[in-house]
Amino acid sequence: MSGEPTPPLARSTLDRAAHRRTDPGWLAQAWARARVLVLDSGDEGRALVRTDTSPPALVLLDAADLPPAASPMFLGVEPDGVPVFAVDAPLPAVPGARPAHLREVGHLLVDRDAGLFTTALALVNWHLRHRYSSATGHPTEVDEAGWSRVDRAGERIWPRTDPAMIVLVHDGVPGPGGRCLLGNNATWPQTPGERRFSCLAGYVEPGESAEAAVLREVREEVGVPVEDIAYAGSQAWPFPGSLMLGFLATADPEHPVRLDPAEIAYARWFTRTEIGAALAGRPVDVGGARLVLPPRSSIALFLIHRWLDGHC
């Protein structure tokens, strides 16, 4: 809805111009005048960002200043008519810029840069995972300006994303005493003195709606029934290739929390006062450790903010 907050990686200003992906003549001319985003998949998909500006700015280079690219990926056309490509290559040295990960800077970038970085990283990660055809086992090659791969038999595959739900479960109570239910995933690395808590999440299974996945995942992970499921927004999460569908839902804090230890190591209800304190940098104790909340580029923190600010 207009005027409502947007998830940090759901922002973009680019015209994807998909009809150009199968036009080799236009693409060749476009590359000659393109802006190019370089990502290094060997460095977890980092790109160059200028941090001497406010906000930080993604570094785009002229194609003429780069070595020949084997498989440039066409991202789209900017509002000023200039085409934009991405390449997977070692990052060049650019004065005033440093390598940065999307998780680290995605929320700080302007809409244009956030959209470019998110799309490029999603494409790069998809190509890395589809070098062979799942149907024939044959090697595949990049085609359609980075938007498909094809094997020697002509079997073609296109980029796909895995739908996943993520939900902020809360008690529906307004004010500082209202509570939300967060969990610590059993597979997350543990940092001494800290414990990260986030929204509950999981992949949507075949034949399942996103809302049904919310019911199932919350029940499986913490044993709590939820109701009043409301969609709140979505964003790509290209680590390596998910689409996060964000929801808010209510539950009774008096209902026993029963953890699936294979999925969730810890779960508990937090008040708005506690969450607000953690976001302000004040220590909140969770079993002898300091509460750490999700990164600012995540839709998890977007959902927490919506609840904290009363947008639910």
pLDDT digits (tens, 9 = 90+) for 22-41: 999 999 999 999 999 999 99
Q: pLDDT for 153-186, tens place per residue? A: 999 999 999 999 999 999 999 999 999 999 999 9
Identify the pLDDT of residue 188. 95
Report d(CA 222, CA 198) in Å as an integer.
13
Helix (H) or strand (E) holding 227: strand 227-237
Radius of gyration of the chain (CA): 21
Identify the pLDDT of residue 221. 98
Round the average pLDDT of the chain to a whole number and report it: 95
**Residue 1 pLDDT > 50, yes or no?**
no
CATH number for the 162-308 domain, one of 3.40.50.280, 3.30.43.10, 3.90.79.10, 3.40.50.2300?
A: 3.90.79.10
Report d(CA 246, CA 253) in Å as an integer.
21
Phi, psi of 124 (to 5 degrees): -60, -45
**What percentage of residues in the chain have a pLDDT greater than 70?**
99
Identify the pLDDT of residue 3. 60
Residues 138-156 have a mean pLDDT of 96
Confidence band for 209, pLDDT divided at 50, 70 and 90:
very high
**Residue 91 pLDDT > 70, yes or no?**
yes
Q: How far is CA 282 from CA 168, 277, 293, 307, 312, in A?
A: 22, 5, 12, 19, 25
Alpha-helical segments (H) within the chain: 24-32, 102-105, 111-128, 210-222, 272-279, 299-308
Identify the pLDDT of residue 2. 47
Q: pLDDT for 251-274, tens place per residue? A: 999 999 999 999 999 999 999 999
Q: pLDDT for 39-81, tens place per residue? A: 999 999 999 999 889 999 999 999 988 887 778 999 999 999 9
Identify the pLDDT of residue 302. 98
Identify the pLDDT of residue 4. 73
